[in-house]
Structure 1
């Protein structure tokens, strides 16, 4: 890992951040809270499969494919966060874990942006 390019470190770091987010609260009602595993947030980790395979095999990531995956993750998380809004009072019950997962997808996009062939 010492000789990895910054882009690969950012992609792996984003994946680790995404895993950490699953252990945080994703929905918080005050008296009840659930984490990312209980919200099936682990499904969002599937977006990282292609970039991680490329990183660990030492292959260049197709930038368009990487951007599309990051965009799917970002839009998916925004929609998931919006789905936790109560219609009656207009309160959003999304908690820290969802926002951390959203940040991990932004990190994935940044990592894909810095990918250069052969590094």
Structure 2
């Protein structure tokens, strides 16, 4: 498994970037209630990274991604993170306050990017790379 960022199409780059953003979000606050701040690791947010395994594995392996399975994983990541956010709502002096932190919002955005990347992902074969390089050389 190699990281070939320049060879990936737009969908592959989105999958990779969304995974990096999801991991970074774990170091940020997932709960922010004024004096109480809890990171994604303390909230066990790393369990939601399970949904990222299949698309990232297929991307790094350079093989075709089953769109249905990839969409199931990415949509479950979005739904789970939004459900996690809604569970952080508390009543505070008669008003409902959401204590979700910036890391949790970043994870939701990363999950949405993962969904878009899964839809747009296409394996770029060696032949297609050679054709593209030849086209660039012919233009010059």
TM-score w.r.t. structure 1 length? 0.94
> Which of the two has higher C-alpha Rg?
2
Q: Which runs of 5+ in 1 are unaligned?
A: none
Q: Give 1:32-111 correspondences, 5 Å limit.
A: 32-88=36-92, 89-111=95-117
Q: Which runs of 5+ in 2 are unaligned?
A: 125-140
Shift of 1:87: 3.4
Counterpart Cα distance in 2 of 1:15 and 1:4 = 15
SS in 2 for 1:91: strand
TM-align CA RMSD = 1.1
Counterpart Cα distance in 2 of 1:28 and 1:17 = 19
Shift of 1:43: 0.6
TM-score w.r.t. structure 2 length? 0.80
Shift of 1:6: 1.7
SS in 2 for 1:110: helix
